[in-house]
Structure 1
Amino acid sequence: MTEIPKSGLKSFVARLAIERNVQIETSNHSSLARIITRLSGDDVIPDETERLIIALRNAKVIDDKLMVEMLGNYFNELNKNRSESDS
């Protein structure tokens, strides 16, 4: 695997998923987790990129460490973009 980029994660993740033929799958467990999260008042809805990163991990394309790194870089990029648009 190539180095995980610090920016452009959305397109990087999408390309990697296409190359490895990985798609987002909704399992009973993930549906239940979303319901429990919503009922607890934490209405967190992962976007497509987050769900693709998780799907890449579930398909064993990436390991736990890379998943955390990718999610971290993606969230940092999102926060940076929000900060720049607020300026």
Structure 2
Amino acid sequence: MPAANTIDKKDVRQYVAALARRRGVVYAKTGNDALAEAITRLADDDVRTDETEDLLVALKRAHVIDGPTMVSLLGQHLDECRHV
């Protein structure tokens, strides 16, 4: 499992997509995901995840990355999205 501090994070989107491809991991929406979306909608919030965020969740669920690594990569990804 890669440690958060050992990952080249210059392009998280590309890194995450390549890691998921190498490990054969794809995102599949679960019942809990659907429930979270419904609750978010009922709270009148507008939260939409992108493919990279979904793949990070899938990689965590598949035990390819751990929680701290997921959080680190997600933060880096969101920073990259803001700077585009």
- TM-score if structure 1 supplies the norm length? 0.87
The two structures, once aligned, show a CA RMSD in angstroms of 1.2
Asked whether 1:58 is paired with 2:61, we answer yes
Instruction: State the Cα distance separating 1:40 from its structure 2 match.
Output: 0.4
The residue number in structure 1 matching 2:16 is 13
In 2, are the aligned partners of 1:22 and 1:56 still within 8 Å (CA)? yes
- Cα distance in 2 for residues equivalent to 1:52 and 1:68: 13
Which structure has the larger Rg over C-alpha atoms? Answer: 1
Identity of aligned residues (%): 41
Q: Number of residues paired by the alignment?
A: 81
Could you tell me which runs of 5 or more consecutive residues in structure 1 were left unpaired when the two chains were aligned. Answer: 82-87
64, 70, 73: which is aligned to 1:70?
73
* Letter paired with 2:25: V
Instruction: State the Cα distance separating 1:8 from its structure 2 match.
Output: 1.1
Post-superposition Cα deviations, 1:21-80, rounded to whole Å, max 9, x if no partner, equal 100011111011011101101110111100000100010000000000000110111111
Say which structure, 1 or 2, has more relative contact order (CA 8 Å, 6+ apart): 2
In 2, are the aligned partners of 1:9 and 1:73 still within 8 Å (CA)? yes
7, 12, 27: which is aligned to 2:30?
27
Instruction: State the Cα distance separating 1:6 from its structure 2 match.
Output: 3.0
- TM-score if structure 2 supplies the norm length? 0.89
